[in-house]
Amino acid sequence: MRRVARAILAALAACALTTLPASAVSAPPTFSTVVIVLAPYLTWHDIDATRTPTLWRLAEDAALGNASVIAGSVASAPDAFRGAAVLAAGQHVTAADARADASGAAAGLLGTAVRQAGGRTAAVGTSAATPSEALSPSAAAAWIVARDATGTVDFAETSARMMRTDSLAPAGFVTDLDMLEVAYRSALAGGEPGDAGPHLVVLDPGDAERARSALRSDVAWESSRVTAMGTIDDTVRIALRSLPSEGALIVVSTGQYSTAGPAGFGPVLLYGAGPGVLHSPGTHRDGIVTLPDITATALHALALDVPTSVTGEPLLIVAEDQDRAERLAAMTRIDAVARALESTRAPVWAGMVGISIVLLALVLVAVLRPGAWPSRTVRLSATYALVVACSVPAGTLVAQAVGYPQTASAAWTRIVLGIGIVVAAGVWKSRGPGHALGRVSLLTVAIVLMDQLLGGPAAQGSAFSYSALFGTRFYGLGNEGAAVLAGAALAAVGSRIDTFGASRAREYLWLGGLVVVVAVVPVLGANIGVAAWGTAGFVAAYLAGAGRRLDWKIGIASVIGAAAVVGMAALIDRMASGSSHLGRALGGSGGLGPMLARKAELSLEIMTATPAVVLLPLGIGAIVYVLVKRVGPLGEIVRRRRGVAAALVGAVTAAVVGLLTEDSGVALSALVMLFPAAALASAFFEPEGGADEH
C-alpha cells in the first residue's frame, strides 16, 4: 500500500502542474459592441436547416457550448427570468433579486460595468404576457440583463409596442418582429456623436417565456415552444443583419423545461470570434459553461475588467477540427449524457443516505434492545446486503468505464453492472462478509483517488460527486463524494488494524493525509471543507487505533498540517487558469467567514426540515454511547475490534465537524458513517455474533 501511495503522490504532483486544458485554446478578441439574444427553452434538437435556418447557418461560424442554466437553483426548472437575473449579476441569484430596485446588491452588475466605462446599454423586446404587464420594465428579460444597479438602461423599448395580438398564440400575443427590428436599429444608432464606449444590446424575443407562462399541457407546451423557436430564429436573423462590423453576437438559452426527465443544458452560440467549442476555466470542461461565464465573457469581449463578485470566467475557444454537424452532435451528446446520469443521481444518492441513517438506527435499536434480532440465516444475509450497499459508490464510478449513457435505462444498466463488478471483486475468495466489506472499502478508496488523479472522468455525473446540470460544482469531489472517500478509508484502515494489529494505525496518517490532499487541491477534488473535517476524523481515528491520547503536540501538528494543505491549494489555485471554490472562498467578495456561516445555516435548515434526519444525531449519539460505555454486544465488538472502534471514532468526529461546517452537512455526516457503521453492523450480524478471522 505504501508503494501505491507513493505512486499516487507522484501523479498528484504532476496533476498540480497541469492547470490548462489539453486542447489548444484561445481567448476571444475584444469588440466595441456585444449583442445578446435571449433564447429560453431552445435545445440543440431545435437547430436544423429547416425550422431554424439562421441558427443553423450561425452554428457554422460560431463557438458552441452547453450552459448549465439550472446551476445554483433550488427549482428543477427555473424560468427564463431567473436565467436573465444570473446573467445580470454574474452570480447565482433569483429573478426577484434582478427585479428589485437599486437596493439589490447583485442586480445590474453587467449594465453597471458597461455604463461606468462610459458605454451604453439597450434592452429591446418583452416577455410580458399581456400589454398591461408590459407597463413594468421588469417584465422584460432584456431589461433585467441590461439594467444597471439603479435600474437605468440607456435605451429601452420593452413596452407593449413590441407585441401584437395572435389568437393562435397560447397567451394571445406574440412579438412584433418588425417593431423589434426598428427598435434594435435605433438602439445601435443611439448615443452621442463620436461615442466610442462599449455598447451592450440585449434582445428578448419574448414568445418562449409567454408559452411557458401559459402552460396548460405537455402537448400544448411542445407545440407552442417549437413555434417560439421560430421567433428566436427570426430575432437572430435581425440581430445579424444589422450587427456592426466590430460586434459580437451571443445567443444564450436562459431556461430549460422538460416534460419527460430532467431539464438539460441550454445552448450557447458565440459568433464573431471564430468556430470551435467553448471551454470554461471554471468548469474545467470543454462544451460545458455557466451563465456567469457568459457575463464574464461579455465583459471581456467589451475589453472591461471582470468584477471579483462574478463567479464565472471569460470563456475560451477550443479549436476543433470538426464541421458544424459534428460539433452540434457533440453538444447534443453532452446534453443527453448529463440528463441520463441526472435521472439516476437523486434515487441513488437518497437511497445511500437512507441506508446510512437506517444503519445508525439499527445501532440505536441494538443499544436499546440488544436481544431483539432474527435468525442466523437472516443475519448472514444482512451482512452480505451490507457488502452490496457499500459497493454502490464505487459501482457508480466503475459504470462510467463502459461509456457514458445517453438514456436513463442505459444509465441504470451500467450502474447495476458497475455495482456487480465491485461486489464480485470484494466477495471473490473472501473469508466472510466482514473481510469482503474491508476489501470493498479499500477498493472504493483506490477507485475514487485514481479517478480524481486522472481528472475525474468517472466522477462526472456520479451520484456522489457532482451534477453538471445543477452545477454546484463541475469537477472534483462534492461533499458526498468526499464523505464516501473518507468513510471508506476509515473502514479500510480499521479492517487492516483488526487483521494485522495496532501498528497499522499509522496508515490513518498517510492514507488520511493523501485523501485530504486529493480532496482539497483545486485541480483535483477542490473541496476545502475536507481540510477541517477530514483532518479531524483521520487524526481521531489514529489516536483511537494507536491507543494514544490527544496532546498539544498532536493538536498543533494537525492544525499546521491542515493549514499547509490549504496553503498549498491556494498557491495552486493562483497558478491555475480558473479559480476554484477555494479561490472564490478566500479571495471573493464574500470571504471565508460568511461562507462558513452560510454553510452552517443551510445545514441546520436541512436538519430541521427533514423529519427522518432526526435519526442521524440519535444514531451518532448511540455510537458515541457504545464507544464510551462499551456495554452490551456492540460494546463487546468495539472492545475486541480496535479497528472497528477507531473507524467509528474517526467517522463520528468527521460527521460532527462536517455537520457544523458544510452546507450539506447532514448528507455528509450520514455518508461518512456508512462504511464504519456497516463494519460495526457486519460484526454484529455475523452468525453466532462472532467476527471474521481475517
What pLDDT is stored for residue 110 in this prediction?
93
Q: In a 10 Å sphere around its CB, with 0-12 CB exposed, 13-18 middle and 19+ buried, how is residue 107 labelled?
A: buried
CATH 3.40.640.10 fits 33-321, yes or no: no
pLDDT exceeds cutoff 50 at 18: no
Q: Does 580 have pLDDT greater than 70?
A: no
The structure's pTM equals: 0.82
Residue with the three cell numbers 467567514? 593
More reliable by pLDDT, 122 or 665: 122
Does residue 24 carry a pLDDT above 70? Answer: no
Higher pLDDT, 156 or 385: 156
pLDDT over threshold 90, residue 568: no
Q: Is the pLDDT of residue 19 over 60?
A: no
605: pLDDT strictly greater than 70: no
pLDDT at 604: 55
Shortest CA distance to 347 belongs to which of 408, 269, 257?
408
Q: Considering only CA atoms, which of 115, 71, 486, 54 is closest in space to residue 302?
A: 115
Neighbours of 135 (CB within 10 A): 12
458-472: per-residue pLDDT in tens?
Answer: 887 777 777 888 876
What confidence score (pLDDT) does residue 231 get?
A: 94
Q: Given this model, what pLDDT does residue 277 score?
A: 93
Q: Which residue type sits at 603? A: S
The amino acid present at 77, given as its one-letter code, is A
Has residue 229 got a pLDDT over 90?
Answer: yes
pLDDT grade for 169, boundaries at 50, 70 and 90: confident
pLDDT tens track for 523-552: 677 778 888 888 899 999 999 998 888 777
Mean pLDDT of the chain: 81
Cell of 100: 428589485
* DSSP-assigned letter for residue 285: E
Task: Specify the pLDDT at position 690.
Answer: 43
Q: Are strands 276-280 and 285-286 parallel, antiparallel or unpaired?
A: antiparallel
The three three-digit cell numbers of residue 339, written as one number: 440528463
Length reported for the chain: 694
The β-bridge relationship of strands 266-271 and 33-38 is unpaired
Mean pLDDT within 106-132: 90
Give the pLDDT of residue 314.
Answer: 93
> Among candidates 362, 356, 387, 386, which has minimal Cα distance to 374?
362
Confidence grade of residue 322 (pLDDT, cut at 50, 70, 90):
confident
Mean pLDDT confidence for 8-17:
43
Stronger pLDDT, 259 or 197, i.e. the higher one = 259
Q: Encode burial over 320-336: b for 16+ CB neighbours within 10 A, e otherwise.
A: beeebeebbebbbebbb
pLDDT at 332: 93
Label residue 167 exposed, middle or buried (CB < 10 Å: 0-12, 13-18, 19+).
Answer: exposed
pLDDT > 90? residue 658: no
pLDDT at 693 over 50: no
pLDDT interval class at 376 (50, 70, 90): low
Instruction: Report the alpha-carbon distance of residue 297 to residue 294 in Å, rounded.
Output: 5
Which pLDDT value is given to residue 520?
83
Cell 496518517: give the residue: 509
The least confident of 6-15, 76-85, 578-587 is 6-15
State mean pLDDT over 360-366.
69
What pLDDT, in 10s, does the model give residues 126-161?
998 888 888 888 889 999 999 998 889 999 999 999
Res 570: pLDDT: 67
The reported pLDDT for the residue numbered 694 is 41
Contacts of 192 (CB under 8 A, 6+ apart): none
Residue extents of the structural domains in the chain: 33-321, 344-583+592-689
Q: What pLDDT does residue 155 have?
A: 93
Contact indicator for 143, 158 with CB cutoff of 8 Å: yes
- Per-residue pLDDT, averaged over 286-297, amounts to 93
